[in-house]
Structure 1
Amino acid sequence: MATSSDHPEGPTAPSDAPTKIIRSLRRADGSLKEIFEDGRERITSANVAVTYIPDRQRCMVTWKNRGERILTQVGEAFPQFTVLNNGGVELYLPEGKAVIMHPPGSPLAERSAETSDVQTSFTLFLSRLHSASGTDTLPTLYAWGESNGFSRQSLYNMISQNRVPGLETLRRFRKATGKPIDWLLGEDVLNPVPQEGESSAVPAEAVPDHLTEEFVLIPRYDVKASAGSGHWHDNGEQAQFCMAFRRHWVESYLHAKKEDLSVVRVHGDSMAPLLQDGDNILVNHSVNSPQDGVYVIRIDGQVLVKQTQVLTGKKLRIVSVNATYESYTVDLSEENQTDFEIIGKVVWFGRQI
């Protein structure tokens, strides 16, 4: 795992002055790249310089008049990086990881050390785009984009702003790469969720073992969370197929355990436009106390997906996003005998376009 430090270690630490510059070149994005006699490389962009030390696989990020930070175990090649609007630097590391570093003394500096394993949504998208387009550098990505109808400027703006594109642009990327939008955004569905009446599901046991290292396999059950009339038929059978989500995303963003998650399908329109009929929702069953949010609940024998709002007096407001459905209040006090249970919180949804 990549780690960061404010201070170099020992007399030969990478903050020592590098040797003579043997080559300098101005890159297409306006930054200056310098190659040193000892093999180090330095790229200077705006008021930030990133130096790569190949023999120690380290990077040193230096802010003008603000100090430096060191990142270890960055791999065998100079990592791509982006200078953020807030002065931080995001470095893209092997295996799709990313590190955001901020100058010492800045309000965000303390958070930098905690993000060495954080994979931002944009970083994941950019990694997927590189993979789908068969490119491994920004210049080759720009060339690929221009040959597929994407202007160099639009791609540069997207990357420099760390911005995941909107739906229309994502559709164009889907057409150009042949990859589903969900895949480009980071989701991996090993076995597509079958429509009603289909039997194309693959047993979860058939998933190759090596995929379970990178992905968390979440069972998709043949039950239905109603967003309308209110029904969820659970026949008690085991899941016949699963959906795969990146383990890093589940553990670092959802802070969830695999065994606490399941996927079911939404039926009905009471949560439209937030949730549509046919959407698949990821439910975290460990989050089952009364809170504000979108939850799967059971009330009087019916299982629903609804928006909940905590009220005073141990009461919970049950709200449908669709205004044509009335909201109502549930009394959670001990003396009330209402058949009510919070099954879990909805933490993700997927939709076929």
Structure 2
Amino acid sequence: MESDPARTRLLQLADERRVSLSRLSQMLGKNSSYLQQFVRKGSPRRLEEQDRGMLARFFGVDERELGKMKENSYVIPDQSRKRDWIDVPRLMVGASAGPGADPDGELVFDTIRFSWRWLRSMGLQPGHLSTIVVSGDSMEPSLRDGDEILVDRTLRPLRDGIHVVRVGDSLLVKRLDTGRPGKIMLISDNPAYPPVECAAPDVEVIGRVVWKGGRI
């Protein structure tokens, strides 16, 4: 099949954001092989307008990078503003702020739009960000059940603060105390939950919580 710039660009964007074509297909509400077939087999010949628009908003690019616009389309992309906003993926997992919860799998099901300027001022790179929902009350009052948290997955030296971690099969959101060599203390803000001491190798740090949002 002759190389198509739209297919090549889609692969490049997915690689930069570190998200699979399967997850992107599910975000569009399609079969998990939809975009794989589009890229590898040329079927469909072009992305549907709605799908192209959603992908463009997710990646923060001009729709025309992912295929030709319809001749009768009145949408005129504003090149000067295409980097003003970044769509950060929402993952279908819950970080437990309680005894622990089994992750459902990191499936992208939606996005939240953030200002590119704000992300840059915070020193955050879009390709390393995702959002998930807090489950439980152990981090109250800092984080409440149902809050949405922005997680920075950039690899950095471990430091104290609120992080999303995996311990065994459970995904947790806790404060980390790394003051003891070889140990990590998982601390809840809610005094009803005592600290839990873990051996450092037993704690996989997924990322640092850098922002929260939720209902008032």
Is the aligned partner of 1:306 residue 2:180? Answer: no
Is the aligned partner of 1:322 residue 2:185? Answer: no
Q: CA deviation at 1:288?
A: 5.1
Q: CA deviation at 1:340?
A: 1.9
Does structure 2 retain, via aligned residues, the 8 Å contact 1:295–1:343? yes
Q: TM-score when scaled to structure 1?
A: 0.38
Match of 1:230 among 100, 107, 112: 100
SS at match of 2:178: strand
Counterpart residue number, 1:344: 207
Is the aligned partner of 1:242 residue 2:111? Answer: yes
User: Any idea what the Cα deviations from partners look like across 1:282-334, whole Å, max 9, x if unmatched?
Assistant: 000014543100000011221100011111323221100001111021222xx
Check 1:309–1:316 CA distance in 2 against 1; reply closer, same or farther (3 A cut): same
Number of equivalenced pairs: 145
Does structure 2 retain, via aligned residues, the 8 Å contact 1:231–1:303? yes
SS at match of 2:197: strand
Q: CA deviation at 1:249?
A: 0.9
Structure 2 gaps, min length 5: 1-49, 63-77
Match of 2:83 among 190, 194, 213: 213
User: Any idea what the Cα deviations from partners look like across 1:146-192, whole Å, max 9, x if unmatched?
Assistant: xxxxxxxxxxxxxxxxxxxxxxxxxxxxxxxxxxxxxxxxxxxxxxx
| Structure 1 residue identity aligned to 2:153 | H
User: Matched residues in 2 for 1:288 and 1:273: separation?
Assistant: 27
Counterpart residue number, 1:291: 159
| Structure 1 residue identity aligned to 2:124 | A
1:252-291 to structure 2, matched below 5 A, reads 252-253=121-122, 255-287=123-155, 289-291=157-159
Q: TM-score when scaled to structure 2?
A: 0.61
User: Matched residues in 2 for 1:274 and 1:234: separation?
Assistant: 24
Larger radius of gyration: 1
Q: CA deviation at 1:351?
A: 1.1
User: Matched residues in 1 for 2:82 and 2:104: separation?
Assistant: 27
User: Matched residues in 1 for 2:146 and 2:106: separation?
Assistant: 21
Does structure 2 retain, via aligned residues, the 8 Å contact 1:266–1:276? yes
Structure with the larger RCO, 1 or 2 (CA within 8 Å, 6+ apart) = 2
Identity %: 34
| Structure 2 residue identity aligned to 1:280 | E
| Structure 1 residue identity aligned to 2:206 | I
Q: CA deviation at 1:236?
A: 4.5
Does structure 2 retain, via aligned residues, the 8 Å contact 1:288–1:343? no
| Structure 2 residue identity aligned to 1:323 | P
Structure 1 gaps, min length 5: 1-201, 333-337
Does structure 1 retain, via aligned residues, the 8 Å contact 2:165–2:206? yes
Does structure 1 retain, via aligned residues, the 8 Å contact 2:102–2:169? no
User: Matched residues in 2 for 1:236 and 1:296: separation?
Assistant: 13
